[in-house]
Amino acid sequence: MSMEAFNHHAAITELQQKEEEVVDNHQRVHEFMEKSIQESRKLLNLANTVYCDQLAYAKACKSLFSTLAENASMMSGLLTEFETMLLQEEMASQAAHQY
């Protein structure tokens, strides 16, 4: 196997691994978001009660939305890495077919 073919195979393997990582993390974030919607509904219902502990409500909301933001940021970073790898592979593939 030529060095070029070996490098191409290694790049494809790395790309497949990154795709699996993205999909696995997307699944985990999706499941967290589903639970977060339920938690958010509970917090909204709590906020509408007469005897709501507003400090506890604010802390719980802040925690929930901070975690959502962290998950969104993590996914955005992974997707940026994946997009970069896809574009690099596309450019390498086009360059290989020009010869």
Helix/strand number for the chain, H first, E second? 2, 0
Cα separation, 64 vs 41, whole angstroms: 12
Which of the 8 DSSP states describes residue 90? H
Whether 52 has a pLDDT exceeding 70, the answer reads yes
What pLDDT does 8 receive? Answer: 74
Confidence of residue 65 (pLDDT cuts 50, 70, 90): very high
Whether 47 has a pLDDT exceeding 80, the answer reads yes
**pLDDT above 90 covers what percent of the chain?**
76
